[in-house]
Structures are given as C-alpha cells and as structure tokens.
Homo-oligomer: A and B are copies of this chain.
Amino acid sequence: MAAGKGEGAGGDAGTGLSAGLETAWGLRERPSKGPRPGLSLDRIVDTGIRIAAAEGIDAVSMGRVAKELGVSTMSLYRYVSAKDDLYVLMQDAAAGAPPPRPASAAGWRAGLEWWAREQRAVFRRNLWLLRIPISSPPASPGSLEWMERGLEVLDGSGLDDGRKISVMMLVGGYVRNEVSLMADLDAAMRAQGVAPDEVMRRYARTVDALTSADPGRFPGVRRLLGAGVLDVPDADDAEFEFGLGRVLDGVAVLVEGRG
C-alpha cells in the first residue's frame, strides 16, 4: 500500500504530487540534457492498461509491463516513481475526461442520471479500475473534471455546495459499488473459468446445501432459493437502473423540500 513519499524528486510547484502525476498535469517539461528517453510515460501506461484489460489488475507487475515493452524492469522507474504511481496514471488515462453533456440531460435529475450512467460506462469498459486500491483522494485532471461536471449538473437543484458534494458522493458511491459487484463476479468467473450464470447457479447450490440441514434457521433464504431468485445474475442494466432510480428518488425528496 502506502502512497509513499509522494513528492519524490523535488516537485515543481508545491503540489505534493508524484512525478508521474505532475507530468499528467503538464507541469513538467523534459529537461534537455541527457540522452533522449527511449520510452515514454504514455507507452508504459498504455501497456499497463492493455494488460489489465486482458488479464486483470493482478497481472500488471513492473516486470510484466517491462517485458511487454521489451525493456528491463528497472527502466520503468525512470518514468514512474513506484507501482502505485503507475496505477494512478492508469486510472486517470482509462477514466479520462467526461464527455460533453447532451442537451437531453437538462435539469438536475436527468443530469445526475447522465453523470451516473457515463461513469458506469467507464467502469464497465475497464473493470480492473475498481480493483485498484485507492491510496489518496482524487487529484488527477480527469477526476477533477468529473467532479466539476457533477457540480455543474447540480447547479439547478438549489442545494448548497456541501449538500452537492454529499449528493455526488452518494450517487458516485452507488455507481462504484454496483459495478464493483459486477467486477467481483467477473473476477470469480475468470478464476473458476466458467460463465457468469454458472457462477450464480453454483452459488445457489452451495447455499442450498448449507441451509438445508437446518431450514428453520434460514427461512427467508430458503424461500429465495425455492423461488430461484439467487440463480439469476441481476439482469445487468435493470438492476442498476432500479437502484439509481431509488437513490434519485431520495435526492428528489431533499431537493423538493418535502423531507
């Protein structure tokens, strides 16, 4: 773990950021002294993302990335101060900046829906994102743009800034959590090498075996088993939209002041 020192080799401005992140913010120009670098941050980060997308975040090791690039492991440390740094850079590159808000997403509710769905899309395109341990609050260009966009969307809600942040954390957290479950299922699938619904079916069978010995202890769970509710893998979008609808209903109560 550990965000490490975080400042490393003398940050330019007093940002307290790692070398890699300052580069991402464009705060570092290449010093025109030594030999021209044979590698670039972008190539490293892209390679990391490619590996993560194909084989999961655990497959991304410094050695592996280096091998993929045909360089030695230690070369990477000229560009990245530590593995965590690479992770943050990958995260930012993959998440990128939010797309422009379409005209259809007017008003706070439609706006939040757009914001949530767009974030979900990013996560779903890069399930490994959620497996990266968060080591510090969002300080990358992309993250801040997302935050900015969220604030913008809530402008018409009449909520004060503190409330806006709270609502954004609520909605953002919901999205994150929903996709997280999906990522976990994905990981289980990879590990066992079976299809998603097969994972759920096995799970239902396991729970059945465990609770059948003492049914009185788990009446509700056994009812679920009988109805086959546990077999189905959430039907994806429907489940997400259901939860999002509930959350936004709750926000609506707040906005409309009928709390």
Contacts and interface: CB of A to CB of B under 8 A. Distances in A.
A246 B239 contact: no
Interface stretch (A69-77, A87-95, A108-116, A199-207): A199-207
Interface stretch (A33-41, A44-52, A167-175): A167-175
B250 A144 contact: no
Contact of A134 (B135, B184, B229, B248): B184
A4 B191 CA distance: 7
Contact of A207 (B144, B191, B227, B254): B144
A188 interface: yes
A221 to B, nearest CB: 6
Contacts of A191: 1-4, 135
A257 interface: no
Nearest to A248: B250
A237 interface: no
A227 B248 CA distance: 26
A8 to B, nearest CB: 14
A104 interface: no
A166 interface: yes
A17 B206 contact: yes
Is the contact region of chain A dominated by helix, strand, or loop, or is it mixed? Answer: helix
A169 to B, nearest CB: 7
Contact of A144 (B166, B173, B177, B211): B211
A126 B22 CA distance: 35
A31 interface: no
A122 interface: no
B135 A188 contact: yes
A125 interface: no
B210 A25 contact: yes
A3 B217 CA distance: 27
Interface in A155-208: 161-162, 165-167, 169-170, 173-174, 176-178, 181, 184, 187-188, 190-192, 199-200, 202-203, 205-207
Interface string A54-87: 0010100000000000000000000000000000
Given A148-B221, A246-B251, 11 more contacts: A1-B56, A14-B209, A133-B184, A134-B184, A135-B187, A139-B203, A139-B207, A147-B221, A161-B227, A170-B246, A249-B259
